[in-house]
Amino acid sequence: MNSFFLYLESIYHIISDGLLNLNNELFIDQFEKTFASTQLNISQDKLKQLSNRENPLYHLINIDKQIQGKSKLINDLIQLTANKIQFNVDEILRDTFERPTRTTCIYAILFEDCFKSSRLRQIIIDQLLALWNTWEEKGFRASQILGWKKFSNEERQIVYRIWNYIGETAKKQYQIDALIDRQRREMDEKIQIKERITKCLDTYCQNAFDKQLYLELLSEMETKLQSDIVRSITIPNQIKLFLPLVDRLTSLEKLNAWETFLAQTQKRSQNNSPTTTDIHPSDIIDGESLLSDNSMYIVVVYKFIDFIKYLFCLK
């Protein structure tokens, strides 16, 4: 293995020491053919590993940086090698959005000067633009939004640099984060609906005969909120009909929390408050459903009166 690396190193030393300033088109053409037949018979994986010494690009990029891109031969060899690389859409999506890093081959091709005239750079730009247009038309997948929420600041900066470059190239009217944020808000709203209804069922509807139906609908929503396209995830009609009741029960939950706080505070105060004869909400709503509109407001009013009385007693 060491002898193989020495062989590779010797080839690039020869190029670096004696061939950089050659302009003879016939010689360059013949050299490129020989280079392609002897150096480019390697796997796609190795061609994409720019830190791998078996990859010709590892050596060529280093030489190009040392001479500040002034050799036609080196530039031609870089383009020749880059044209051997092929990316599928999944690889491009992974390296530019789902698991972004600055060390990928795609990142280098987009931002290293030696690839600025590469046909591969334009191919990648075209594929990234196609992804952007798909996101505009159909939206992101839930898994992509969930992944975005977990990104570090460094990962987000990489995504911003890549995709805002694509946006500028395509003359988009907004940056990628605006597109992501719209989808994130839409997904958050759907998650909140699911969570509110789940909490309501667990708290108030343990014995409801149709509870299982709602649980199954919520389970389907949960599955879709892990992987489906966010825009395609709809709220089932049964859930929509249930939402007004959830809102009313949520108000009741806040009222119960208020009542608990008031009772605990009164117990701690140990103050002697004047004896009064109070009207209790239970006397008013006797025989009426607690969840009816009238009874709900009556409970709120009388609990508020209790709270005001207590505040005056503290003074």
- Spatial neighbors of 75 by CB under 8 A, at least 6 apart, are 64, 69, 114, 117
- The pLDDT-based confidence of 256 (bands split at 50, 70, 90) is low
Burial of 62 (0-12, 13-18, 19+ CB in 10 A): exposed
Both tokens of residue 277? 């004869």
Q: Which of 127, 98, 123, 90 has the alpha carbon at shortest distance from 109?
A: 123
Gap between the Cα atoms of 45 and 65, Å rounded: 23
Q: Which two tokens stand for residue 163?
A: 């995709």
Residue 277 lies in a domain: no
DSSP single-letter state for residue 120: H
pLDDT value for 12: 78
How many angstroms from the chain centroid is the CA of residue 230?
12
Residue 73: what pLDDT?
86
Tell me the average pLDDT across 277-304. Answer: 43
Q: Which domain holds residue 162?
A: 2-181
296 pLDDT more than 80: no
Nearest alpha carbon to residue 81 among 105, 116, 52, 57 = 57
Distance CA 285, CA 293 (A): 11
238, part of any domain: no
Q: Is residue 177 part of a domain?
A: yes
pLDDT at 218: 92
pLDDT attached to residue 69: 84
Buried b (16+ CB within 10 A) or exposed e, 245-279: ebebbeebeeeeeeeeeeeeeeeeeeeeeeeeeee
Domains of the chain: total: 1
Q: How far apart are CA 6 and CA 92, in angstroms?
A: 33
Instruction: Report whether pLDDT(119) > 70.
Output: yes
pLDDT of residue 160: 96
* 242-254 confidence digits (pLDDT tens): 888 877 776 666 6
Cα distances (angstroms) measured from residue 133 to each of 148, 167, 179: 19, 11, 11
- Distance of alpha carbon 176 from alpha carbon 164, whole angstroms: 6
Do 162 and 100 touch, CB atoms closer than 8 A?
Answer: yes
CB of 73 closer than 8 Å to CB of 118: no
CA distance 115 to 108: 8
User: Is the residue at 220 inside a domain?
Assistant: no
pLDDT at 124 over 50: yes
What mean pLDDT do residues 158-180 have? Answer: 94
> What residues contact 315, with CB distance under 8 A and at least 6 apart?
none
Q: Is residue 309 part of a domain?
A: no
Highest mean pLDDT among 91-105, 191-205, 271-285: 91-105
What is the rounded distance in angstroms from the CA atom of residue 20 to the CA atom of residue 245? 77
pLDDT digits (tens, 9 = 90+) for 180-206: 999 999 999 999 999 988 888 887 777
Q: Please say whether the beta carbons of 163 and 140 come within 8 A.
A: no
Determine, yes or no, domain membership for 15.
Answer: yes
Assigned domain for 145 exists = yes
Q: Which of 13, 23, 103 is nearest to 60 (CA)?
A: 13
Q: Chain-wide mean pLDDT for the chain?
A: 81
How far apart, in whole angstroms, are the C-alpha atoms of residue 212 and residue 201? 10
**pLDDT tens column, 42-65:** 999 999 999 999 999 999 999 999
Q: Which residues sit opposite 232 in a β-bridge?
A: none
Q: Is residue 39 part of a domain?
A: yes
